[in-house]
Amino acid sequence: MRVLPIVLAAALPATAWAQANAVQAAPSGWASLLQVLLSLALVLALIVGAAWLTRRLGGGALGASRHLRVVGGVMVGQKERVVIVEQGGQWLVLGVTAGSVTLLDKQAKPDDAPEAPQTALPESFSRILANTLARARKGGGQ
């Protein structure tokens, strides 16, 4: 019972001090705006970091593979296709439906088959954004 008055005596001045300083510490409009902008920057940095980590740990280019290449395909129905996929030195003939993929045939890659085209990877979002901002600075926003 003796502890309670001591705790109350210690808490009352602290409460009064906090209430007196609450009036002085009210944030201005600029401080609130700065806090919101810093919070937004933190969230965006977390998103970029998570994307980088996903790519680094094997997320790749959203499922793209260096070992597989679609050579061609043809529609045989509304939702059915026959697709030729190159894997290593073999061609896989696949039947693709809405619910499954079935291996129809496996054969060696023909000698007269064209090589895989060397396509450039699509630009990353950061590069596109940087180019757009650079053009906006040069042309005055045009």
Backbone φ and ψ of 37, nearest 5°: -65, -40
Which pTM was predicted?
0.39
Structure confidence at residue 80 (pLDDT): 92
Sign of CA dihedral 5, 10, 16, 19: negative
More confident residue, 101 or 6: 101
The pLDDT of residue 38 is 95
In total, the chain counts a number of residues equal to: 142
Query: What's the longest Cα–Cα distance across the chain?
Result: 97
pLDDT digits (tens, 9 = 90+) for 80-131: 999 999 888 888 999 999 899 999 999 888 777 666 555 555 567 778 888 8
3-state secondary structure 63-124: CCCCCEEEEEEEECCCCCEEEEEEECCEEEEEEECCCCEEEEEEEECCCCCCCCCCCCCCCC
Which tens digit of pLDDT belongs to each residue from 14-44? Answer: 555 566 555 555 668 888 899 999 999 999 9
Q: What is the pLDDT of residue 133?
A: 87
Q: From residue 12, how far is each of 16, 18, 20, 24, 46 by CA, in Å?
A: 6, 10, 12, 19, 41
Q: Is the pLDDT of residue 3 over 60?
A: no
